[in-house]
Amino acid sequence: MTSPLSRKDFIRNSSILLAGGGILAGNVASAHTAPTPETIAPGKVSLIKNVRLETGFETEDGEIVATRTELFTIEISDGKIRSVKPNEPNAKGIDAKGLLMLPAFRDMHIHLDKTFYGGPWKARSKKQRSVKDMIALEQQILPEMLKTSTYRAEKLIELLQSKGSNFARSHVNIDPTSKLDSLKNLQKALENKKNSFGAELVAFPQHGILYSHSEQLMKEAAQMDIDFIGGLDPNSVDGNIEKSMDIVVQLALDHNKGIDIHLHEGGEPGLKTVEYLISKVNENPVLKGKTWLSHCFVLAKLEPAKLQETVEKMANAKIGVVSTIPFGGITMPIPTLYKYGVEVMTGNDSIIDHWNTFGSGSVLQKANLMAQLYGYSTEFELNRSLRLATCNLLPLDEKGNRQWPKAGDTASFVLVDASCSAEAVSRISPVRSLVHSGNVVY
């Protein structure tokens, strides 16, 4: 494996503009010739021809040096792929003109319910620094933000679609200021977009369960068509790791939900939170595979032996990590998480809001950033890096056998202006179209 870049080299050589954990970048055009935007119009798809699929790896002296592709014709019905056939260039249907077909992207950590996107530009204030500072700020601004939150959530969804995502896991504020209104407003937006976008929701006590006395609101939210129970820094915000985490775990058990906790804390409190969650999941195996730690910055600071021990325990408990791939003072041990079998997902988190003014809406950029940070520069490494954008669904398996798409798969995919997955990740190739369950939505 290629040695990771030093931080100085990464910043100097990066082809994208990076700041604070968010990314702003223009797409780098590939040599591939894209169709005009008018080629693929919104609507139901029944057949798509001249679509490029990956078919295997090419090796030279034992090393994977290229990815083979061929053109195919794909039939779609009832939102599913009916068949993947040898190309029929004269067939009647949408002409993909050689664009590469990849699984639709998925943003697995975002806050659709509170954003400035869709309204006037507003940069972040330098006055608020700590999480508790931000809680105080939200208590002031949320009433005004709620007036436009449904509209702005829809605009943010449209941004994600333009970047190739047809699905998101969104955390939504449950707090004494917005009460359940933030959730209700976001559910309206998702209902309006239900034919073109999928989502799962995390009831998120942004102001702390104990700190803001939100336990009753969380109980009510758990009965309102949400998927996960969230939490926030149980030591620094709530002041009691066990009590705070016990509430989260019990709500998940009582209502058959998953768990997704924001954990920014490092040091002993952060590690204790991870270890306590591991123990609770092992006590309640029904939570295995349904429990996530978002951010989990504490892992970035552990000594190698302790990191390995902790990650192995997380893998055995099937606790995953959702990372926004931060850089600077925090570089997450993503390669170690992969090595020991911890599932890793990513998302844009905040996009142009009071927490963070950076963010393009592209999880393909997150895959690119991961590849740069950890030195994933070979054909195979870049090919594998796509899994961060697709939530671990890849066209080829480790040996280069085509595993996607196949008959019976959901017809949700992107068409990108790239020759292969490796190029798409390396160049952050332009997304030309997004198909969601057999419908062109972008």
Token duo for residue 437 = 């369950």
Handedness of CA 66, 72, 75, 76 (dihedral sign): positive
Q: Where are the beta strands (DSSP E) in 78-225?
A: 80-86, 94-95, 100-103, 105-110, 165-173, 198-204
Lowest model confidence (mean pLDDT) among 36-50, 201-215, 411-425 = 36-50
Contacts 24+ apart (CB under 8 A), 79-82: 79/410, 79/411, 79/437, 79/438, 79/439, 80/408, 80/409, 80/410, 80/411, 80/438, 81/405, 81/406, 81/407, 81/408, 81/409, 81/410, 81/411, 82/407
Lowest model confidence (mean pLDDT) among 77-91, 133-147, 424-438 = 133-147
Question: How far is it, in rounded angstroms, from Cα 389 to Cα 314?
Answer: 22
Section 177-197 average pLDDT: 97
130 vs 7, higher pLDDT: 130
Per-residue pLDDT tens for 110-163? 999 999 888 888 887 777 678 888 888 889 989 999 999 999 999 999 999 999
Per-residue pLDDT tens for 284-325? 999 999 999 999 999 999 999 999 999 999 999 999 999 999
Count Cβ atoms within 10 A of the Cβ of residue 26 and give its class: 0-12 exposed, 13-18 middle, 19 or more buried. exposed
State pTM to two decimals: 0.90
Assigned CATH for 105-379: 3.20.20.140
Give the pLDDT score at 1: 41
Domain layout of the chain by residue ranges? 37-103+393-440, 105-379
Chain centroid, CA 248 distance in Å: 22
Token duo for residue 361 = 């809406």
How high does pLDDT run on average in the chain?
91
Residue 79: Cβ within 10 Å count: 15
CATH topology of domain 37-103+393-440: Urease, subunit C; domain 1 (2.30.40)
Token duo for residue 215 = 């336990």
Give the pLDDT score at 4: 45
Give the pLDDT score at 353: 81
